[in-house]
């Protein structure tokens, strides 16, 4: 459902929260952002979202609640489907992104499970425009981190994802 900002501003608190939970499943973030309405423009909404996310991410439970809203990338069959569908990519995209090799997909699935086992939450990354190999490189680079570092990394990535989803909700992406 795409809304105009004026429509979003006019929603009841309950309906606004339910729409925001589509963008990020942190109930603290969604409730605070819905309460902060009305917004003069999308930039004001995004700035408020950033500020509220910065505030609520200090509570690990809020982060984990947000992370739980993402599917785990770990099933090789679903990874194959996701990355094989890029064969008709635009000419400007790197040819390496056009066809993810089985070994890359299997390593990505294993890396995701290793990440979950180590940190207790799934690997969160702003995946838009990234190939399977790029995702694997990012995952492997972050896997040696400690949990506090990864909570911060995942929180930053979550915010990027949330901003994109907010823009889509309001028909701006």
- Segment 95-143, tens digit of pLDDT: 333 357 788 888 988 999 999 999 999 999 998 888 888 999 999 999 9
Q: Tens digits of per-residue pLDDT, 24-48?
A: 999 999 999 999 999 999 999 999 9
pTM beyond cutoff 0.75 = yes
Write phi, then psi, for 146 (nearest 5 degrees). -85, 170
Cβ atoms < 10 Å from Cβ of 71: 8
Mean pLDDT of the chain: 85
Q: Higher pLDDT residue, 33 or 79?
A: 33
Domain ranges of the chain: 5-66+162-169, 71-158
Task: Determine the pLDDT at residue 128.
Answer: 86
SS3 content of the chain, % helix, strand, coil (to 5): 65, 0, 35
Catalytic residue (one of 8, 20, 46, 70): 70
For CA atoms 70, 62, 30, 163, the dihedral sign is negative
Positive/negative CA dihedral, 40, 45, 47, 48: positive
The CA distance from 30 to 13, in Å, is 10
Cα atoms found within 13 Å of the Cα of residue 5, Cβ hemisphere only: 12
Q: Is 70 a catalytic residue?
A: yes
The CATH topology of domain 71-158 is UraD-like (1.10.3330)
């Amino acid at each position: 459902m795409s809304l105009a900002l004026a429509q979003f501003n006019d929603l009841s608190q309950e309906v606004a929260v339910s729409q925001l939970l589509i963008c990020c499943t942190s109930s603290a973030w969604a409730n605070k952002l819905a309460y902060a309405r009305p917004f003069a423009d999308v930039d004001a909404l995004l700035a408020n979202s950033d500020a509220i996310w910065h505030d609520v991410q200090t509570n690990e439970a809020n982060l984990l609640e947000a992370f739980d809203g993402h599917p785990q990338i770990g099933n090789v069959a679903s990874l194959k489907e996701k990355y094989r569908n890029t064969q008709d990519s635009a000419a400007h995209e790197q040819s390496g992104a056009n066809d993810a090799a089985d070994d890359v997909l299997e390593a990505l699935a294993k890396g995701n499970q290793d990440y979950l086992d180590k940190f207790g939450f799934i690997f969160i990354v702003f995946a838009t425009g990234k190939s399977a190999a790029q995702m694997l490189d990012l995952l492997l680079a972050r896997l040696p981190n400690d949990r506090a570092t990864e909570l911060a990394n995942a929180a930053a990535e979550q915010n990027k994802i949330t901003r994109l989803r907010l823009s889509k909700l309001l028909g701006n992406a």
